[in-house]
Amino acid sequence: METIEKYNTKKLKEEIKVASAYQRFLKNQRKTEKIVGNREMPASEATWKHTQNREKLSAMYVAYGIMRGKDLDEQIKAHVSKKNDLTVIQDGEKFSYNERRARSKVEELLLSYKIKEVEIVNEN
């Protein structure tokens, strides 16, 4: 017996588009000089929100890849930043702080976009 999980990929794709458009807006707001358009928030706040949104987007990209059948480890290596990463040793085991954090966010996203589980019975 095999279990197949179904996800709402269309909803995730739309939310990725919204978050990436917001990321472009925040990039402009981070500028202290030569800003295009009106300033709607202080540069420091835009920088903070840009960092949060970047982490959220990378987790969304990983979750989308998994929904399409890609491998979790490959997706994390491709989308999770090694910049400013910490190596943590817990119970004699080494792990990357950013990867561990990304895995938990991806698991939350997958649960929130799950539609149903389908069980397939092989009759042989």
Model confidence band, residue 98 (pLDDT cutoffs 50, 70, 90): confident
- For residues 24 and 34, the answer to whether their CB atoms sit within 8 Å is no
Model confidence band, residue 4 (pLDDT cutoffs 50, 70, 90): confident
Model confidence band, residue 19 (pLDDT cutoffs 50, 70, 90): very high
Q: What tens digit of pLDDT does each residue of 32-82 get?
A: 888 888 889 999 999 999 999 998 999 999 999 999 989 988 888 888 877
- Could you tell me the residue ranges of all domains in the chain? 2-120
